[in-house]
Amino acid sequence: MLSANRLTPFHLAIQVRNLEEARHFYGELLGLPQGRSSENWIDFNLLGHQLVVHLNPALGKDGSVQQIGNHVDGHGVPVPHFGVVLEMAQWEEFAEQVKTVVQEFVIEPYIRFKDQPGEQATMFFLDPSGNALEFKAFKDIEGSLFAK
C-alpha cells in the first residue's frame, strides 16, 4: 500500500484545446519550465511536479473543460481543480505576481476558514481551456493541511 512517509512528485495530465495557448499560459505567464513535448502534449515542471497538457481537439477552438461548482466557505469552488500548497510567504508573492497575468479569478486571493482549523490562503483561476487551478498556503502546513 502507499505510504505518506515521504513526499514525492505527482504526475498530472490535463486536456487543453490548443498547445501553443497552453505553452504561453503555463510557460510564459506562470513561468513553469518546459520539459519534453510532442505534437500532442507538453511537460511542465510545476514546482517539481510533472504537469502534462494533452491536446484534445474535441474541445474545439474556443472550447472549455466542463466543471461543477461546490460551495466551500461562501464560494463556488470549481471541480475538478488542481494546484500546489505553498509556503505562506511564497503564496503571498505569487498572489501579487499572478494578479498581473491572470485576467479573471474564479476566487480572488483570500483567507479561507479564518480562525478555524485548516485556515488557509487560497486563490482559484482558469487556464485558457477552462482547467481550474488552486494555489493555497497555510501558516503551519504540517499542522493544518489535514486539520479537522
pLDDT of residue 144: 73
How far apart CA 36 and CA 54 sit, in angstroms, is 12
pLDDT of residue 4: 66
- Tell me the CATH class for 67-148: alpha beta
pTM for this one? 0.91
Out of 49-58, 59-68, 103-112, 134-143, pick the least confident: 134-143
How far apart CA 33 and CA 38 sit, in angstroms, is 16
Give domain limits for the chain.
1-57, 67-148
- Tell me the CATH class for 1-57: alpha beta
pLDDT of residue 62: 93
- Phi, psi for residue 48 in degrees, rounded to 5: 90, -5
Q: Do domains 1-57 and 67-148 have the same CATH topology?
A: yes
Per cent of the chain over pLDDT 70 is 97
User: What are the tens digits of pLDDT across the range 51-66?
Assistant: 999 999 999 999 999 9
Rg (CA), the chain: 16
Average pLDDT, integer, range 101-114: 93
